Amino acid sequence: MAALRSDTAAPAQPDRAGDGPGAVRLRVLRWRDARSRPLDDWLAEEVPVALQYNGVSHAVMLATPLDLEDFALGFSLSEGIIAEPGELYDCEVLREPRGITLQLEVATRCFEGLRERRRSLAGRTGCGLCGTDSLDQALRPVPPLAPQAGSRPVASRAIARALRALRARQPLNELTGSVHAAGWCDAEGRLLLLREDVGRHNALDKLIGALARAGADAGSGFMVVTSRASVEMVQKAAQARVPLFVAVSAPTALAVRTARDAGMSLVGLARGDDLVIYSGEQRIALEASPSPSRSLIPT
């Protein structure tokens, strides 16, 4: 597995600040304490990103224009367009005045399968299934996760450790206050990879792509996200073969049913030392904190 940075490293600096692709500085007027004053504020960028496969338009998503190669690969994998990273032959990023086009070249077999699906997405922030033209496509089955021989349960303290690291390692959100993050951690809760985006599912796609590009074994760790766990996010994580998915907000009922069908462990309302296990409790070892916080589950 490729070497990845852990949460013991110095927090990432917002080097994409300034009038760069991640955030822009704009003049605003703030009203506070019954006084107004002009000031400069940082706002996250959000641009249309079109994905073209072998010259054919497939999807347009509104996304933060960072880590686009990760996004292209992760989207292709999590949507089942390609089965492995090697089936994406090339990714060319074309920046235009009105947005960005990702020109992707995939294996002929993958492109033929994509054409058969006849799927056209019109994406916008917070929407992961827009334009899907059939119920079968919206609720596509994911292959069940096979038990990993010799794997030990993830301690609840490791999840709490991951959540603390997640809060500390979001430079773009610290700057703008308006983006989501998705992180991948090892079994001890060390945060090794993180991606940010205005769209929660875009951040997850970027993370999946980054894992694939790093040659990491996604099944050896778990994912944490700063959003709720919706069904499309569970589908994407299961497609990436991630056994444990942790969200700071609650999942939907459909997300829980999908996780159970896939044999995935799904945790929601994970805040501090508290969490709720919705599926796959056998993968999580609950440990009492030295100073336990109030449980999120009513007694």
Same domain (yes/no): 175, 281: yes
- Asked whether residue 293 carries a pLDDT value surpassing 90, the answer given is no
Residue 299 lies in a domain: no
Residue 24 has phi, psi (to 5 degrees) of: -130, 150
Q: How many domains would you assign to the chain? A: 2
Tell me which residue of 226, 243, 207, 229 sits closest to 162, measured CA to CA: 226
Q: What is the pLDDT of residue 116?
A: 83
Residue 31 lies in a domain: no
Tell me which residue of 296, 231, 295 sits closest to 260, measured CA to CA: 231
Neighbours of 111 (CB within 10 A): 20
**Of 70, 105, 138, which residue sits at a domain end?**
138
Q: What is the pLDDT of residue 195?
A: 97
Could you tell me the CATH number of the domain that includes residue 68? 3.10.20.10
Mean pLDDT of all residues in 107-113: 95
Residue 53 lies in a domain: yes
**Of 80, 108, 138, which residue sits at a domain end?**
138
Same domain (yes/no): 162, 186: yes
Same domain (yes/no): 127, 226: no
Same domain (yes/no): 255, 174: yes
Residue 222 lies in a domain: yes
Question: If residue 112 lies in a helix (H) or strand (E), which one and from where to where?
Answer: helix 108-117
Domain housing 66: 47-138
Same domain (yes/no): 167, 280: yes
Q: What are 44-81's pLDDT values in tens digits? A: 999 999 999 999 999 999 999 999 999 999 999 999 99
- The mean predicted confidence, pLDDT, of the chain is 86
Residue 79 lies in a domain: yes
Residue 25 lies in a domain: no
Q: Is 0.75 topped by the overall pTM?
A: yes
Between CA 231 and CA 234 the distance in angstroms is: 5
Q: What is the pLDDT of residue 138?
A: 62
- CA 148-152-156 angle, to 5 degrees, is 125
At residue 16 the predicted structure's pLDDT band, cuts being 50, 70 and 90, is very low
Same domain (yes/no): 158, 275: yes
Same domain (yes/no): 165, 134: no
Q: What is the pLDDT of residue 172?
A: 95
Same domain (yes/no): 183, 125: no
- Asked whether residue 1 carries a pLDDT value surpassing 70, the answer given is no
8 A C-beta contact, residue 285 and residue 154: yes
Same domain (yes/no): 173, 89: no
Residue 77 lies in a domain: yes
Of all residues in the chain, the percent with pLDDT exceeding 90 is: 76
Question: Is 185 known to be catalytic?
Answer: no
- Asked whether residue 149 carries a pLDDT value surpassing 70, the answer given is no
List helix spans (H) across the chain. 68-78, 108-117, 135-138, 156-168, 171-176, 200-214, 231-239, 253-262
Q: If DSSP codes are grouped into helix, strand and coil, which group holds residue 236?
A: helix
Same domain (yes/no): 277, 178: yes
Between CA 273 and CA 266 the distance in angstroms is: 16
**Of 138, 173, 188, which residue sits at a domain end?**
138
Same domain (yes/no): 115, 169: no
Among the ranges given (25-29, 144-148, 281-285), the one the predictor scored with the smallest mean pLDDT: 144-148
Could you tell me the CATH number of the domain that includes residue 199? 3.40.140.10
Q: Which of 91, 110, 127, 185 is catalytic?
A: 127
Q: What are 208-267's pLDDT values in tens digits? A: 999 999 999 999 999 999 999 999 999 999 999 999 999 999 999 999 999 999 999 999
Same domain (yes/no): 158, 126: no
Residue 13 lies in a domain: no
CA torsion 186-188-192-193 (nearest 10°) is 60
Q: What is the pLDDT of residue 10?
A: 35
